[in-house]
Amino acid sequence: MNLFNVYPLFDITPVRAKDVYVYDKNNVQYLDLYGGHAVISIGHSHPKYVYNIAKQINKIGFYSNSIQNPLQDKLAQELAETSGCKNYHLFLCNSGAEANENALKLASFQTNKKKVIAFKNGFHGRTSAAVAVTDNSKIIAPINAQQEIELFNLGDLQGVEAALKQQDVCAVIIECIQGVGGLDESKTSFYRGLHLLCKKYEVILIADEVQSGFGRTGDFFAFQKHKITPDIISMAKGMGNGFPVGGILIHSSIKASFGLLGTTFGGNHLACIASLTVLEVLKTEKLQKNAKEISNYFKKQALTIPKLKAIKGRGLMLGLEFDFPVAALRKELIYKHHIFTGNAKNPNLLRILPPLTIQKKHIDLFIEALKIEVS
C-alpha cells in the first residue's frame, strides 16, 4: 500500500532532533527556523519533556473521558495562571482544526444561529466548518461550501457591522496575526472595535490562537496586546511541542451541559503531561521574554538584507517579504545552507517560526546565509 499523495515533500528524512536542530538519516544538521509549522515551542526533545512523557507512559497513557483525570484539572489551573485568562473553562481536544470546529459549534449552540464572519487570507483548519471559514477555495469541498460564511478584509469594521445588523451571525473568528495568510495584523483599534461590535450584537468572538498562542508572539496569546476579551480562544501547535493536543478556552458566561462537546482522545494523560511540561519550561526558562528579545534582534539584523521589502509579525512569528517569489530561495536555504524556513499564501513571504529557545547566534547564521543568496 502507498500513502495517499497529498504532501509535496522535500527530500530530507529527519531521524532525530535536539533543541533548534534536526538531523537527517545521513547525520546532516539542519537549523530549524520553522518548528514544523510553529509546533516546536520549547525545543526539540527537551530533557524535561522527554523525561515527563516517559515517566507518564510507564503509569498510564490513555483512558477515555468517562473517568476522572486530575491532570486535566491541573492543566486548566496552570494554563489560567500562566496565560492570565482566569475567567475561562478548558475543553481539550487533539488539534487546531478540531479546536476551531468545537469553537464554531459552541458559538452556534450559544446563539442558535449559523452564519460566521471570517477574514480574507485567514486560515483556521482543513475540516468541515474550520475549512469553510478559511480563505482558500482550493481546499474547500462542496460539502464544506454549504456553510454560511462571509469574508471581510482585515480592518473592515464598517463591513462587519453591516453584516452583524442582519442578526443572523453566530460567530466572528479571527487570527490576531494571520499565519498561513502572510503575517498580517491590523491596528489595535480594529480588534477593540470588533470586540465591541460582537458584544453589541451578541455574537461570539473566537480568537484563533492555534499558531500564535503559547508565548510565540512574546505575549502568551496574540490578542492580549490589544486588551480584548474573546468569548472563545482556540489553541494547539505549541501547546504540545509536537504531541497532538488542542483545546479551547471558553468564557465563563457560556454554560456547559453534558454531551454539548465531546472527544475520545482529547485530554488524555500523555497530552496533559506534554502541555503541562510546555507551560513549566516556558516559565522556568523565561521563553516569552526570549521571544521578544530575539525578535528585536532579528528585526534589527534583517534590515541589512538586500532586496527586503518588509519585516512582518512579532515575537517569533515572523515573516520576511521580498519583491520576488521565495520558493527557489527556500530550496537554497534547505539544501545548500541546511536551514528550514516556511512559506505562506503570499508567494513572496518567507516565514520564520523557530523554537522559542532560539539564540542570537542562530539568527546570525540565518542572516549570513540569506545575504549570500539574495545579494
Q: Residue 125's pLDDT is what?
A: 97
Could you count the other beta carbons within 10 Å of the beta carbon of residue 1?
Answer: 3
Contact 42, 356 (CB under 8 A): yes
Q: Residue 17's pLDDT is what?
A: 98
What does the alpha-carbon distance between residue 90 and residue 103 come to, in Å, rounded to a whole number? 12
**Reported pTM:** 0.97
Task: Provide, rounded to the nearest whole percent, the portion of the chain with pLDDT above 90.
Answer: 100
Q: What DSSP character marks residue 359?
A: -
Residue-wise pLDDT tens digits, 215-260: 999 999 999 999 999 999 999 999 999 999 999 999 999 999 999 9
Residue-wise pLDDT tens digits, 43-65: 999 999 999 999 999 999 999 99
Q: State which H helix or E strand residue 101 sits in.
A: helix 96-111
The grid coordinates listed for 53 are 512523557
**Residue closest to 69 by CA, chosen among 270, 217, 237, 261:** 270
Contact 112, 169 (CB under 8 A): no
User: CB under 8 Å to 20, separation ≥6 — which residues?
Assistant: 31, 32, 43, 44, 354, 355, 357, 358, 359, 362
Residue type, 297: Y
Q: What is the CA angle 124-128-134, rounded to 5?
A: 30
Q: Residue 121's pLDDT is what?
A: 97
3-class state of residue 207 by DSSP: strand
Q: What is the CA angle 143-148-149, rounded to 5?
A: 105
Residue-wise pLDDT tens digits, 317-368: 999 999 999 999 999 999 999 999 999 999 999 999 999 999 999 999 999 9
Q: Domains (ranges, CATH) in the chain?
A: 14-47+286-374 (3.90.1150.10), 49-284 (3.40.640.10)
Q: Mean pLDDT in the chain?
A: 97
Q: Residue 202's pLDDT is what?
A: 98
What does the alpha-carbon distance between residue 31 and residue 44 come to, in Å, rounded to a whole number? 11
Q: What is the CA angle 316-328-306, rounded to 5?
A: 65
User: CB under 8 Å to 282, separation ≥6 — which residues?
Assistant: 41, 42, 82, 214, 215, 288, 356
Question: What is the arithmetic mean of pLDDT over 266-289?
Answer: 98
Q: pLDDT grade, residue 375 (50/70/90)?
A: confident
Q: Residue 133's pLDDT is what?
A: 98
The grid coordinates listed for 119 are 477574514
What does the alpha-carbon distance between residue 70 and residue 61 come to, in Å, rounded to a whole number? 13
3-class state of residue 248 by DSSP: strand
Q: What DSSP character marks residue 260?
A: S
Q: Residue 83's pLDDT is what?
A: 98
What does the alpha-carbon distance between residue 352 and residue 20 come to, in Å, rounded to a whole number? 13
